[in-house]
Structure 1
């Protein structure tokens, strides 16, 4: 099962009585916008009790086209990694 952005907005709406559905949606959108901006700038995003999103630089490297077997050079790029907090790990594992 996957959770969508609309599902998150609905959960925020359901758990916060003072918010309208539109406000709940705007809150989720605002959080995601801030998270994207932070990561785009190259900064890490730490959410206590949840985990840390890191931006890593990957160097260019040799690769292979699996269909043709041809060797190609993969460009340098930035990737986002996620490391869950100990609290989240324990909850996932039922501790």
Structure 2
């Protein structure tokens, strides 16, 4: 079965490798994700070497259909996040 990674498993890994307690490892993870989130919220790019790049992408306003009523509607423009994997990560995934 494939490995599943979430905040809890990341916390466990930090606890084992760096002798941190659970609250310290959770704080480290929260700080990392907060830094990435605040960077993206300000329109920046989060580029993590050997992993990939997160950046804001603006989706244009477009026409759509409400699936319940089948009415035509306009979907407003909005920002979304794009992830581009690094070549190192791509190579690891294709071994």
TM-score for both structures, normalised by structure 2: 0.89
Q: Give the match for residue 8 of structure 1.
A: 10
Q: Distance in 1 between matches of 2:86 and 2:6?
A: 22
Q: Give the match for residue 41 of structure 2.
A: 40
Instruction: Please report how far the alpha carbon of residue 21 of structure 1 lies from its aligned counterpart in structure 2 after TM superposition.
Output: 2.5
Q: Give the match for residue 29 of structure 2.
A: 28
Q: Any idea what SS the aligned residue of 1:82 has? A: strand
Instruction: Please report how far the alpha carbon of residue 86 of structure 1 lies from its aligned counterpart in structure 2 after TM superposition.
Output: 0.4
Unaligned runs of 5+ in 1: none
Q: Any idea what SS the aligned residue of 1:68 has? A: coil
Deviation beyond 3 Å, 4+ runs, structure 1: none
Q: Distance in 2 between matches of 1:67 and 1:20?
A: 50
CA RMSD, Structure 1 to Structure 2 (Å):
1.3
TM-score for both structures, normalised by structure 1: 0.89
Q: Distance in 2 between matches of 1:2 and 1:71?
A: 40
